[in-house]
Structure 1
Amino acid sequence: MQGICDICNRVGFLHVCQLCGRRVCDRCFLADRGVCILCFRGRFLRKNEDMSLP
């Protein structure tokens, strides 16, 4: 699918984030996780920070 990235507004091929449904470009999508960079930052990184607390 082609269109405009919901995060950076670049035009090109888009992926759909499995968590939020945003349509995002290759630069804003983490293919190995199937999520956009915003969901990765907000959910995966926060979860890892919580796990490292004493």
Structure 2
Amino acid sequence: MNWMAESAIRKAEKNDYSDVTLLQKTLMESFMEQEEAERAGYASKPPSWAQQLRVSCSS
């Protein structure tokens, strides 16, 4: 999940809010099949760049 948020944040910093919108929709409908989220890789393992992500409760 952290990698999805990180990806959305990186794009939003460049004024591209498409991943923010997709992530919000995906989380709001988390128990429904979502082809768009699957195409975005949300149903896959995290990408290699995300292997080192660490999140603390203070972030």
User: What TM-score do you get using the length of structure 2 for normalisation?
Assistant: 0.26
Structure with the bigger RCO (C-alpha within 8 Å, sep 6+) is 2
**TM-score, structure 1 as length reference:** 0.27
Q: Where is the helix percentage greater, Structure 1 or Structure 2?
A: 2
The structure that has the greater radius of gyration is 1
